[in-house]
């Protein structure tokens, strides 16, 4: 008899904390091209290792999806840094009906067990973490997506001061698509590509930006296939896996300069304390600070 069940990994568990089985299928929505746990058939996974995400609703949701996908009796290893949900893992798994062991290593909690025959509380976790239409904002969103239940103040400020765009462009790190939606208010925009590394963000954006001029790309901006654009807009991320990463934000700026055609414009909002001038000035022909207020700066840079 052939064993067609999969070995699953979710995220990038540190190699010095747990050992990964070779040939595992990746299921993180933050890794373009990965499989989706939401679509995985019940009982089709024979082992799972998961670096659980920090947000409570998101974490319980993905753990519930993982338990649903695991075959009865299949082993799991779920871990998280102590201060990013790790200390809650044991209780969360017990609440789903799992008998678990807990270990501590390199500031992580590692919880191991096997998938029980009977699971409890799965439906509630799946409902609480699912994509939904937020009535107060009229926006599709999901726990785990950037600023999932409120409009980010930086985004709001950029929308307020956004010059009208024209031609073909992109929204780098589009999130649920609020900024791109505002860009499309300009009738001179011919096309906008919404790019995000988070599949869930792209799926929400597809609901939120129902415009034939919009294209959606689940990809890393740093390697996305874009060229000769007239504009790029962005509220650039400055966190990667939770840690402040100035290089990530700077690489967004460099990538914008690469994909813009001659005369192209990049409009971005940035947190005041980040050193954007240092990268904008040598990368663009001309960079101007349009406004600085409330902890944010808006720049317009021309190629």
Ligand X SMILES: C[S@@+](CC[C@H](N)C(=O)[O-])C[C@H]1O[C@@H](n2cnc3c(N)ncnc32)[C@H](O)[C@@H]1O
Q: Least distance to ligand X from the beta carbon of 82, Å?
A: 24
Minimum distance between the CB of residue 259 and ligand X, rounded to whole angstroms? Answer: 13
Q: Is 194 in the site for ligand X (CB under 6 A)?
A: no
- Binding flags for ligand X, 116-155, as an x/- string (CB under 6 A): ------------------------------xx----x--x
Q: Find the part of the chain contacting ligand X (CB under 6 A) among 78-86, 103-111, 168-176, 183-191.
A: 168-176
Q: What gap in Å lies between CA 90 and CA 67, rounded to an integer?
A: 14
Contact region with ligand X (CB under 6 A), list: 15-23, 53-61, 167-175, 270-278: 167-175
The binding track of 203-242 with respect to ligand X, each residue x by CB under 6 A or -, is -----------------xxx------------x-x-----
Q: How far is the CB of 264 from ligand X (least distance, A)?
A: 19
191 binds ligand X (CB under 6 A): no
| Residue facing ligand X at closest CB distance | 173
Sign of CA dihedral 279, 281, 285, 290: positive
| Residues at the contact surface with ligand X, assessed by CB under 6 A | 146-147, 152, 155, 173-175, 178-179, 195-198, 201, 220-222, 235, 237
């Amino acid at each position: 008899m052939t064993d067609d069940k999969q070995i699953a990994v979710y995220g990038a568990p540190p190699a010095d904390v747990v050992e990964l089985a070779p040939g595992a299928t990746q299921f993180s929505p933050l890794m373009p091209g990965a499989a989706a746990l939401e679509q995985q058939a019940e009982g089709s996974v024979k082992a799972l290792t998961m670096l659980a995400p920090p947000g409570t609703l998101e974490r319980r949701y993905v753990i519930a999806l993982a338990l649903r996908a695991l075959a009865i009796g299949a082993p799991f290893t779920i871990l998280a840094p102590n201060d990013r949900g790790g200390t809650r893992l044991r209780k969360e798994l017990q609440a789903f009906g799992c008998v678990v062991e807990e270990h501590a290593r390199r500031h992580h909690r590692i919880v191991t067990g096997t998938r029980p025959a009977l699971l409890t509380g799965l439906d509630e976790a799946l409902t609480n973490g699912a994509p939904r239409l937020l009535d107060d904002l009229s926006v599709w969103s999901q726990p785990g997506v950037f600023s999932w239940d409120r409009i980010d103040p930086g985004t709001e400020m950029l929308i307020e001061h956004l010059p009208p765009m024209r031609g073909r462009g992109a929204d780098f790190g589009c999130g649920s698509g609020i900024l791109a939606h505002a860009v499309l208010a300009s009738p001179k925009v011919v096309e906008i590509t919404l790019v995000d590394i988070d599949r869930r963000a792209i799926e929400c954006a597809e609901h939120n930006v129902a415009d034939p001029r919009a294209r959606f790309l689940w990809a890393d901006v740093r390697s996305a296939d874009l060229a000769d654009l007239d504009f790029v807009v962005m509220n650039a991320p400055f966190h990667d896996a939770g840690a402040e990463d100035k290089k990530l934000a700077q690489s967004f700026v460099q990538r914008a300069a690469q994909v813009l055609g001659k005369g192209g414009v990049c409009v971005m909002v940035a947190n005041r304390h980040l050193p954007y001038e240092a990268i904008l000035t040598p990368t663009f022909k001309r960079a101007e600070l349009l406004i600085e207020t409330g902890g944010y700066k808006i720049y317009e840079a021309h190629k």
